A and B are shown apart, each in its own frame.
Chain A
């Protein structure tokens, strides 16, 4: 199975028009398969996996957001699937999706202020696994 070995990096302003074109254009990437984020310490990568049933190609798109401005356009208007996935990325990594209809935490309690999948996440009560 040949899935795309690489990825495409986009600027954050270009993301929404580009994925809209990919969805409705000849590529027919009609499925938003996965949406996630990776904390790269000084920046957060938001990773989109789009899939085209017609051409059987998975396309990986990355947008790099510097820590100073963790905001990106929401793609919920294009895919309903993005709703919960964006809420999850917001909850775990703190990326704000502008234009999201209901950007709340999804997994963790609403009262939390931290984002647990950040590399600098610290919390009382977390017992690290002892290293041999």
Chain B
């Protein structure tokens, strides 16, 4: 019997594409024969802008790359800049950077879990739980730097300000609160029969394929590769803290969810230790506003979505000659066609949700 292949356009406006992603799906009935992602719908020419801004001026743009984890982007870029300039931040600033980066990782993973559950059809409840808890982190950041989403808190050579009075207690309260709330997520999702049936054995990514496609971060660890830049090539003061590298076994969508859930606990542990060992001193950046950039450097950090790399090239002037942003979601998305071939169209949404992409950094 003859069948006709059906081409379905999913996006750029679609509730489950996490922004402005356009997927062209070739279907045989319900089964995906081929998937062609089209990106660039949020291409804001950030790499071109970088060539016309000094390092200090460029920091706000890093907020808008991966807008769910702005602090981590700030940290990544400032570390790359400091590596090129050969300077380093005061110890208190380094601890504060760890605290804000891990807080933002918790917020980002929460949102990833919430939207993933929503993609699987759990309308609103898990997402609202996630937004409720994320709001607490956002309010801490709001007190810290006056912004809710685009923080610009980490600066080249330090941070923009010290912890305001009372905020360390807020962070401690949040850690205790979130530990309690994680049990709620486990009740709601981890043992949920429908949730497991929808995500187990869906979109299995083997170790070899993950490395071959350049997949990094939680998605790589879910495939069983114990690799975390924080642990294996420690930057900032991560080598002083005790935390585990979480891995999954199979690399299916459920593993990717599970790794995120358990990473939240590890991040809370890191924040607790960093708050406990916070050294005295002035964390505010005291460096020039304009630098002469010479040579080139590559710096990568562990973002919630994977390894964020900055390749910074200078030519002796104050402006970077070239800045390449190695966005983790870019590589993580490129594996999607490989994962969804042969799956049902409804599982495409599940795989996409479990990869946890942000279009802002894919398109830059």
Touching chains A and B, CB distance < 8 Å: yes
Contacts of A92 in B (CB 8 A): 47
Q: Is the CB of A108 within 8 A of B40?
A: yes
| In the assembled complex, B269 has its CB within 8 A of some CB on chain A | no
Q: Is the CB of A49 within 8 A of B298?
A: yes
Task: State the CA gap A117–B225 with chains docked (Å).
Answer: 35
Task: From the candidates B52, B53, B213, B298, name the one contacting A80 in the complex (CB within 8 A).
Answer: B213
Give residues of chain B (295-314) contacting chain A, Cβ–Cβ below 8 Å.
Answer: 298-300, 307, 309, 311, 313
| In the assembled complex, B324 has its CB within 8 A of some CB on chain A | yes
Say how far B226's CB is from chain A's closest CB, in angstroms. 10
Q: Is the CB of B212 within 8 A of A81?
A: yes
Contacts of A109 in B (CB 8 A): 40
Say how far B203's CB is from chain A's closest CB, in angstroms. 16
Contacts of A60 in B (CB 8 A): 298
Q: Is the CB of B234 within 8 A of A1?
A: yes
Give residues of chain A (44-71) contacting chain B, Cβ–Cβ below 8 Å.
Answer: 47, 49, 53, 56, 58, 60
Task: From the candidates B43, B211, B300, B311, name the one contacting A107 in the complex (CB within 8 A).
Answer: B43
| In the assembled complex, B45 has its CB within 8 A of some CB on chain A | yes
Q: Is the CB of A81 within 8 A of B39?
A: no
Contacts of A34 in B (CB 8 A): 298, 309, 311, 324, 326
Q: Is the CB of B52 within 8 A of A116?
A: no
Task: From the candidates A32, A107, A121, A128, name the one contacting B39 in the complex (CB within 8 A).
Answer: A107
Interface-located stretch among B9-17, B24-32, B146-154, B330-338: B330-338
Say how far B24's CB is from chain A's closest CB, in angstroms. 13
Q: Is the CB of B214 within 8 A of A106?
A: no
Q: For chains A and B in complex, what number of residue pairs have CB atoms within 8 angstroms?
A: 84
Interface centre among A84, A85, A117, A128 (most CB of B within 10 A): A84
Q: How large is the interface on B (under 10, 10 to 19, 20 to 34, 35 or more residues)?
A: 35 or more
| In the assembled complex, B195 has its CB within 8 A of some CB on chain A | no
Contacts of B335 in A (CB 8 A): 80
Question: What string of 1s and 0s marks CB contacts (under 8 Å) between B42-53 and chain A?
Answer: 010101100011
Task: State the CA gap A41–B139 with chains docked (Å).
Answer: 47
Task: State the CA gap A47–B313 with chains docked (Å).
Answer: 12
| In the assembled complex, A31 has its CB within 8 A of some CB on chain B | yes
| In the assembled complex, A122 has its CB within 8 A of some CB on chain B | no
Residue of A nearest to B212 (CB): A80
Q: Is the CB of B321 within 8 A of A38?
A: yes
Task: State the CA gap A121–B309 with chains docked (Å).
Answer: 25
| In the assembled complex, B363 has its CB within 8 A of some CB on chain A | yes
Contacts of B232 in A (CB 8 A): 56
Residue of B nearest to A89 (CB): B324
Task: Please list the 7 inter-chain residue pairs (A to B) with the smallest Cβ-Cβ separation, ordered nearest first.
Answer: A81-B214, A107-B40, A36-B324, A1-B233, A107-B43, A34-B326, A84-B334
Given contacts A34-B298, A36-B324, 6 further A-B contacts (CB under 8 A): A33-B326, A34-B309, A49-B326, A84-B330, A106-B39, A121-B48
